[in-house]
C-alpha cells in the first residue's frame, strides 16, 4: 500500500465525518479505521452496534437473518411468516440460494412463501388462532417434515406466543414444529437473526437422528448458503476427495441433514459470522471440533482441503486431496493467467455481508487486484480483528437481548473426536482449532476499513477514490454504476456463479475480467463532451 493512499484515506475519513452532527460524527468515527494488520498495533473498530437513525444503512433486520438467511434455504421445511404480508413477500426467493431435491419425490418448498398475512383485527385481538389454523392448513396441503414459524415486528408487541402455538401444533400434527422470536427490531442487524436461528435449530432439530453413516471422513459445512450453486461445486470437490458431507448449514440442505449433523467428526465453518454459535454449541454438547475454512478462491480451496486432510491425519486422504488439487489447478491456472494480464494492479473495494468482504479478497488477489477498502454490513469485531478480541467485546443491551443457550455435554452422545495427544500434535504442526483471524489481518497497512458503511459514505468514497470495481449488493449496485464504476453483487452474483471452489474461481476470473474491462464505460462521456472543439471543427 502506498503511503499516498494511506494519507488520502486519512483525509477522506475526515471529510466523510464532517457532514454529520457532532454526536453522530463521534459515533461514526469509531467505525472507520486505517488498517494495521499487525495484531500488536491493529486498531479497534466498532461493530455490531445500532445504526444511527436516518443514516441509510445496508443492513436488514433480525427476521431477515433468521428466516431469509439461515433457515430459508432448507428445502423441506414449511416456513410460515407470522405477520403482515410484506416481510414474507420480500424474503420470497430473493437470495438465490439453490437446492437440488434428491429425486422427484423429494420436497422443494423453496418456491413457496407462506404467511399469515395479519390484518388489523389480528393485531387488535391477537393472531394465535389464525396462526394455528395456518399451520394446520400448510400441513394438510404439503405434509412437510417440519414447520418453522417466524415472528415479525408486531407479533412481539401484541404478545402472540409462537412457541406455545408451535408446541401445541407439534402435539396435534405429530411433526416437528418450532418457532423463532426473530422480530425485526430485536437486534442491530440480521446478525441477531442468525444467532436466533442457530439456537432454535440446535434446540429443536440437531441430534434427532443418531444414524451413523458408514464412511471415513465425515464433516459438516457450516455457513455455506449455496448462492449461485456454490455448494454444488464444493460438494463436487469434497466427493472427489472422498470426504463425506453429512450436512451443509444450510445451502442445498434437508431437514434430515440437520437432524443427523451431530454424527460428523468435524465442523468446517465458511461464514463465521452467521454460524459460529452452533459450531461452539456442537463442540460442547457432542465433542465435534470446528475449524475455519474458505472455499472462495482456488488457493483458499486447496488450503482448506489440506487443512481438512491434516485434521483427519490419514495419509490416504492427504494423498487423494493432493491428487485432486493437482488435477484441478492447471485449468484454473490457465484462466487465471489469461485474466490476470488485463486485471493486474486494478483496485477493489468490498462492502458486503459478514464474511464475503473478507473471502473475496482472496479471489481478487489471485487476479493481482488490490483491495484498498473493505467493510462488513453486519459483522462483529471478531470478524474484523479476529477471535482473539472476543474477551474484550462489550456486551450491550442489544446483544443481551439474544438468548445465549446454556449447553452441557450430552451424557450419552458426547465423544471428543480427537484425543488430547492428537490435539497437541496438530497444534504443534500449527493447526488452529476454533480460530478465525479476521479480515484486517489480511488487509494491507493503510487500507480503509469501514463498518456498516452508510449509503452516503459509500457514494462519497467512490467519488473521491474511483476504484476499478466495487463489490456490494443490489441496493448499492445502481448508484455505483451511475458513477461509472463497475459493481459486482456479492450477495446474488448478478445471476452468475458459482464462484466457490476451482470451477467457481474460473467463473469469477471471467466475470471480473468482463466487468472491469468492458467497453461500455468508455461511452459514458459523449464525444462532444470529451472534446467540444474537435466536434465543432468537423461540423464546419
Between residue 381 and residue 440, which ones bind another protein under the rule CB under 8 A?
397-398, 401
Binding segment toward another protein, per CB under 8 A, in 39-47, 156-164, 195-203, 262-270? 156-164
Q: Specify whether 415 is catalytic.
A: no
Which of helix, strand or coil describes residue 311? Answer: helix
Angle at 326 between CA 322 and CA 332, to 5 degrees: 130
Q: Which three cell numbers stand for residue 463?
A: 467519488
Cell 456490494, located at residue: 472
Write out the DSSP string of 218-239. Answer: EEEEEEE--BTTHHHHHHHHHH
> Minimal distance in Å, beta carbon 281 to another protein?
24
Residues in 519-538 that interact with another protein by CB under 8 A: 524
Among 456, 466, 534, 536, binds another protein (CB under 8 A): 456
Instruction: Give the nearer residue to another protein in terms of CB position, either 68 or 501.
Output: 68
CA dist., res. 87 & res. 437, Å (int)? 35
Name which of 154, 249, 146, 247 is nearest 194 in CA terms.
Answer: 249
Specify burial of residue 22 (Cβ count, 10 A radius: 0-12, 13-18, 19+). Answer: exposed
Instruction: Give the nearer residue to another protein in terms of CB position, either 64 or 234.
Output: 64
Residue 111 binds to another protein (criterion: CB under 8 A): yes
Residue 490 binds to another protein (criterion: CB under 8 A): no
Binding string, residues 220-239; x marks residues near another protein by CB under 8 A? --------------------
Spell out the long-range contacts of 18-25 with Cβ–Cβ below 8 A and sequence spacing 24 or more: 19/456, 24/52, 24/55
Residue 475 binds to another protein (criterion: CB under 8 A): yes
Residue 51 binds to another protein (criterion: CB under 8 A): yes
Residue 345 binds to another protein (criterion: CB under 8 A): no
Q: Specify whether 96 is catalytic.
A: no
Residue 91 binds to another protein (criterion: CB under 8 A): yes
Q: Specify whether 326 is catalytic.
A: no
Instruction: Give the nearer residue to another protein in terms of CB position, either 21 or 315.
Output: 21
Instruction: Give the nearer residue to another protein in terms of CB position, either 85 or 329.
Output: 85
Q: Specify whether 343 is catalytic.
A: no
Binding string, residues 114-153; x marks residues near another protein by CB under 8 A? xxxxxxx-xx------xx-xxx-xx--x----------xx
Residue 493 binds to another protein (criterion: CB under 8 A): no
Residue 92 binds to another protein (criterion: CB under 8 A): yes
Name which of 50, 385, 397, 46 is nearest 189 in CA terms.
Answer: 50
Residues binding another protein: number (CB under 8 A): 82
Give the containing element (helix H, strand E) for 290.
strand 290-292
- Asked whether 44 and 385 are in contact (CB, 8 A), the reply is yes
Q: Given phi > 0 = left and psi -120 to 50 = alpha, else beta, which region is 200?
A: alpha
Instruction: Give the nearer residue to another protein in terms of CB position, either 152 or 304.
Output: 152
Residue in 28, 31, 59, 64 annotated catalytic: 64
> Minimal distance in Å, beta carbon 384 to another protein?
21
Strands 448-450 and 32-34: antiparallel
CA dist., res. 314 & res. 319, Å (int)? 9
Residue 186 binds to another protein (criterion: CB under 8 A): yes
Residue 173 binds to another protein (criterion: CB under 8 A): no
> Minimal distance in Å, beta carbon 79 to another protein?
12
Query: Residue 76 contacts by C-beta under 8 Å, 6 or more apart in sequence?
Result: 106, 107, 108, 109, 144, 145, 146, 254, 255, 256
Instruction: Give the nearer residue to another protein in terms of CB position, either 118 or 238.
Output: 118
Residues in 265-324 that interact with another protein by CB under 8 A: none
- Asked whether 57 and 31 are in contact (CB, 8 A), the reply is no
Helical residues (DSSP H) of 450-531, grouped into ranges: 455-465, 474-482, 501-516, 527-530
Cell 471471467, located at residue: 510
Binding string, residues 59-88; x marks residues near another protein by CB under 8 A? xxxxxx---------------x--xxxxxx
Instruction: Give the nearer residue to another protein in terms of CB position, either 108 or 215.
Output: 108
Binding string, residues 346-385; x marks residues near another protein by CB under 8 A? ----------------------------------------
Among 21, 330, 391, 522, binds another protein (CB under 8 A): 21
Residue 331 binds to another protein (criterion: CB under 8 A): no
**Chain centroid to CA 287: how far?**
25
Residue in 28, 59, 61, 471 annotated catalytic: 61
CA dist., res. 113 & res. 115, Å (int)? 7
Q: Is the dihedral of CA 148, 89, 276, 426 positive or negative?
A: positive
Give me the active site residues, please. 61, 64, 95, 194
Amino acid at each position: 500500500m502506498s503511503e499516498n493512499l494511506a494519507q488520502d484515506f486519512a483525509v477522506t475519513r475526515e471529510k466523510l465525518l464532517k457532514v454529520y452532527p457532532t454526536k453522530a460524527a463521534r459515533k461514526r468515527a469509531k467505525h472507520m479505521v486505517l488498517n494495521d494488520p499487525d495484531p500488536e498495533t491493529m486498531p479497534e473498530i466498532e461493530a455490531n452496534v445500532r445504526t444511527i437513525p436516518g443514516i441509510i444503512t445496508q443492513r436488514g433486520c433480525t427476521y431477515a437473518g433468521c428466516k431469509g438467511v439461515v433457515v430459508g434455504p432448507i428445502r423441506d421445511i414449511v416456513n410460515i411468516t407470522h405477520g403482515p404480508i410484506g416481510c414474507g413477500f420480500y424474503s420470497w426467493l430473493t437470495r438465490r440460494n439453490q437446492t437440488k431435491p434428491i429425486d422427484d419425490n423429494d420436497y422443494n418448498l423453496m418456491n413457496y412463501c407462506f404467511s399469515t398475512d395479519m390484518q388489523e383485527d389480528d393485531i387488535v385481538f391477537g393472531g394465535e388462532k389464525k396462526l394455528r389454523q395456518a399451520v394446520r392448513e400448510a400441513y394438510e396441503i404439503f405434509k412437510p417434515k417440519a414447520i418453522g414459524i417466524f415472528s415479525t415486528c408486531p407479533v412481539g408487541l401484541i404478545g402472540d406466543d409462537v412457541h406455545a402455538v408451535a408446541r401445541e401444533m407439534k402435539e396435534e400434527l405429530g411433526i416437528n414444529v418450532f418457532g423463532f422470536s426473530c422480530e425485526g427490531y430485536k437486534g442491530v442487524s440480521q446478525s441477531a437473526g442468525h444467532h436466533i436461528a442457530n439456537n432454535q435449530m440446535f434446540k429443536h432439530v440437531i441430534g434427532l437422528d443418531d444414524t451413523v453413516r458408514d464412511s471415513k471422513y465425515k464433516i459438516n459445512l457450516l455457513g455455506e448458503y449455496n448462492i449461485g450453486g456454490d455448494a454444488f461445486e464444493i460438494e463436487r470437490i469434497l466427493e472427489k476427495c472422498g470426504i463425506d458431507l453429512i450436512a451443509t448449514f444450510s445451502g442445498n440442505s434437508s431437514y434430515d441433514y440437520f437432524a443427523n449433523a451431530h454424527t460428523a467428526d468435524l465442523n468446517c465453518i465458511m461464514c463465521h459470522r452467521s454460524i459460529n454459535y452452533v459450531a461452539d454449541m456442537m463442540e460442547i454438547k457432542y465433542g465435534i471440533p470446528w475449524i475455519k475454512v474458505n472455499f472462495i478462491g482456488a488457493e483458499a480451496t486447496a488450503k482448506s482441503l489440506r487443512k481438512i486432510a491434516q485434521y483427519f491425519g490419514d495419509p490416504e486422504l492427504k494423498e487423494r486431496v493432493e491428487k485432486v488439487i493437482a488435477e484441478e489447478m492447471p485449468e484454473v491456472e490457465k484462466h487465471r493467467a489469461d485474466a490476470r494480464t488485463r486485471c493486474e494492479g486494478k483496485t477493489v473495494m468490498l462492502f458486503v455481508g459478514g464474511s464475503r468482504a473478507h473471502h473475496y479478497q482472496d479471489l481478487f488477489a489471485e487476479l493481482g487486484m488490490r483491495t484498498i477498502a473493505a467493510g462488513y454490513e453486519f459483522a462483529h469485531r471478531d470478524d474484523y480483528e479476529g477471535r482473539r478480541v472476543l474477551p474484550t467485546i462489550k456486551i450491550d443491551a442489544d446483544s443481551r437481548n439474544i438468548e445465549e443457550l446454556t449447553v452441557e455435554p450430552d451424557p450419552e452422545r458426547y465423544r471428543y473426536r480427537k484425543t488430547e495427544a492428537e490435539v497437541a500434535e496438530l497444534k504443534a504442526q500449527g493447526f488452529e482449532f476454533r480460530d478465525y483471524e479476521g479480515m484486517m489481518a489480511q488487509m494491507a497497512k493503510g487500507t480503509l476499513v469501514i463498518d456498516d458503511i452508510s449509503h452516503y459514505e459509500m457514494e462519497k468514497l467512490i467519488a473521491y477514490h474511483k476504484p476499478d470495481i466495487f463489490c456490494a449488493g443490489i441496493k448499492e449496485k445502481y448508484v455505483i454504476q451511475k458513477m461509472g464504476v463497475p459493481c459486482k453483487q456479492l450477495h446474488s452474483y448478478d445471476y452468475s456463479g458459482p464462484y466457490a471452489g476451482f470451477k467457481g474461481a474460473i467463473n469469477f476470473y471471467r466475470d471480473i475480467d468482463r466487468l472491469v474491462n468492458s467497453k461500455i464505460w468508455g461511452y459514458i462521456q459523449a464525444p462532444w463532451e470529451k472534446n467540444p472543439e474537435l466536434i465543432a471543427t468537423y461540423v464546419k
